[in-house]
Structure 1
Amino acid sequence: MSSLPGKLPDADWVVPVIQISLQLATAIAVDFSLSPPNPPVKSEDCCSGTKGTETLFERFVQSVTYLSKSMCWIGVLCNILHLFWRILLYFPGTIIEDGGAEIPTEKPVIYQVHPVVIIGTIAAIAGAILRTWQVFIFLATFNHLQKLNRCFRTLGPLFTFEITIRPKHELITHGPYAWVRHPSYTGIYLTLGGATLVLGSPDSWTAIHLVRTPVGAALALFWAFKCCFAFRGMCVRFRAEDEVLRKTFGAEWEDYADRVPYKFISGVI
């Protein structure tokens, strides 16, 4: 049996720190992406009478986003605690060793960053960036650079999690809306898909231990159901939004739809 080091080499901290950083970055991206920039809209201010505006998803959209953020944070924090546990198991002289826990002789999986975690984190961050990223564009009408924001900030007070038409509502066609008509939904798909990859990565505590318990399996099924529910709800909703905008702006919207035919990914769909 090979002897274990008595001190943690500086180089051995790198990968665990990366692991923890990726987990935290995913949770922060999900939280940022699913936090509404404006207060919930009153029911009387929501658009009604259009197909897709009175669905079950519309009634529970705030609850779905809250559950998504909460479950992601809980899963990420559990994964991070598991990483610390594995570190303490590997290095002698810790309270765990003194308590009689078996010490492994080989480096645990925390010293390998699984590609699924990297892909998931990148997707989650990309989704959050798409919904909040600031860009600079030249506006000839003002003859100077004016800062605009992607999705949340491009729409400003017009951005809500409910379908609504505000007083003096304008049809936004700049920023990411110059490329696709529903970039915010693309961001949600990326965010929830990325979080699912991170929480379900083969070397995570949530995938190794949690899902093998009845409660964990139920939570995993609930997460999958919630994501499918959200994805389907958004597919119905974007059609309702297009219809509401068509009725509100008429020829202006028709011209915009002709110029920007893609809904989620420019050149694809």
Structure 2
Amino acid sequence: MALLLKLPLLVLEAVCMRISGIPPNPPTSSGHVVVPDWREHFLRNLAYPSKILRITSWLAQFVEFIVIVAYCNPTGPMSHLVLKTLVADTSCVVRLRVTPQFLMGNGINLAGTILRVLCYRALGRLFVFELRIQKDHELVTDGPYAYVRHPSYTGLILSILGGFLGHASSSWILQCGPLQNAFIQALTVLWIIVAIAVISSLLLRTSREDAMLHKAFGDSWVKWSEKVPYQLIPGVY
């Protein structure tokens, strides 16, 4: 059935969220950490709610996955129980089809994740989530950093927006009744607030990181910033 085509895309969406949102390297005490200002404190304080909401998003994707499997295999031993427990009306399941909006969200999420991975590879051990000049730190100006100065932020923002588009389309949360529950409504509002807060924090953080690198690398950073004048989007911003 056409619904089954959505299953690998749900898995892809969950994997992208895992790759984009979890640091590729453990925190390090090497080098000099930048004294955090209010912007950095604000972003760090979002780490725990972001983790919780990432887990709940994975749970929603898992539920949608098993609902589709149960609907497409009605004679399965657990199918009736799954559908009876997780959907308000089995007729809603046909609305979980792959839509253009879902595909767009999936594509944006994947593009953001690929960009993040390219940044992970370009920076290697230097890629950590906190602002830090590590021992033997080098100014990386190749790969994605040859086009914008903060491509990893661009990638994460794309992943967040893509994930939102995916959930805001033909998802189990929207189509099969969970939003009738007050707790799910509150959790959805919180997800949106945290997503907006993370994106806003990343936008505010770019100038802070530029100042850190300028101080650490001096003329090398100035030459790079003249060659790569845009922070997030080539030719735009």
- The interval holding the TM-score normalised by the smaller chain is 0.7 to 0.9
Counting matched residue pairs gives 230
Structure 2 distance, partners of 1:53, 1:26, is 29
Q: How does 1:192-231 map to 2 (within 5 A)?
A: 192-201=160-169, 203-208=170-175, 209-231=177-199
User: Residues 50-86 of structure 1: CA distance to partner in whole angstroms, max 9, x if unpaired?
Assistant: x5664321x3354255234312211211211222343
Mean CA deviation greater in 163-172 or 70-79:
70-79
Q: 1:81 to 1:204 in 2, by over 3 A?
A: same
Question: Secondary structure of 2:158's partner?
Answer: helix
Alignment equivalent of 1:31, drawn from 8, 11, 18? 18
- Using the size of structure 1 for normalisation, the TM-score is 0.77
Which amino acid in structure 1 is aligned with residue 188 of structure 2?
Answer: A
Moved over 6 A (4+): 92-95
2:128 corresponds in structure 1 to 160
The reply on whether 1:76 has 2:61 as its aligned counterpart is yes
Give the 3 Å change call, closer, same or farther, for CA 80–47 of structure 1 in structure 2.
Answer: same
How high is the TM-score relative to the length of structure 2? Answer: 0.86
Q: Which has the higher helix share?
A: 2
> Which consecutive unaligned segments of at least 5 residues does structure 1 have?
1-11, 133-149
Distance 1:85 1:171, change over 3 A: same
CA-to-partner distance for each residue in 1:194-235, whole Å, 9 max, x for gaps?
A: 11111221x321112222210110110011011011011111
Quote the Cα distance in structure 1 between the aligned partners of 2:57 and 2:148.
Answer: 28
Contact 1:47–1:53 (CA under 8 A) maintained in structure 2? no
> Match for 1:108: what amino acid?
V
Residues 1:86 and 2:71 aligned together: yes
CA contact (8 A) 1:52 1:240 kept: no
Could you say which structure has the larger radius of gyration? 1
* SS of aligned partner of 1:234: helix
Aligned to 1:22: 9
Task: Kindly indicate whether the alpha-carbon contact (under 8 Å) linking 2:20 and 2:159 is maintained by their aligned counterparts in 1.
Answer: yes
RMSD value over aligned CA atoms? 2.7
Question: Do the aligned partners of 2:46 and 2:194 also contact (CA within 8 Å) in 1?
Answer: no
**C-alpha deviations, 1:95-132, integer Å up to 9, x for none?**
7679xx8x989x9334x421111011111111110011
CA distance in 2, matches of 1:22, 1:73: 13
* Secondary structure class of the residue paired with 1:55: helix
- Contact 2:214/2:221, CA 8 A, preserved across alignment: yes
- Whether 1:235 aligns to 2:221 is no
Which of the numbers 179, 182, 188 marks the counterpart of 2:150? Answer: 182
Encode CA deviations 1:34-63: one digit per residue, 9 max, x unaligned: 1211112449942116x5664321x33542
Structure 2 gaps, min length 5: none
- Kindly tell me: are residues 92 and 48 of structure 1, through their superposed partners in 2, closer, same or farther at Cα, counting changes over 3 Å? closer
Q: Which residue of 2 aligns with 1:109?
A: 95
CA separation of 1:82 and 1:127: change in aligned 2, threshold 3 A: same
Instruction: State the percentage of identical aligned residues.
Output: 30
Distance 1:162 1:212 in 2: 39
- Tell me how far apart the structure 1 counterparts of residues 49 and 227 of structure 2 sit (CA, whole Å): 33
1:191 equivalent in structure 2: 159
Task: Write out per-residue CA displacement over residues 148-200 of structure 1, whole angstroms, 9 at most, x where no aligned residue.
Answer: xx211110111000000001111100000000111101110111111111122
> Judging changes above 3 Å, is the alpha-carbon distance between structure 1 residues 42 and 52 closer, same or farther for their aligned structure 2 residues?
farther
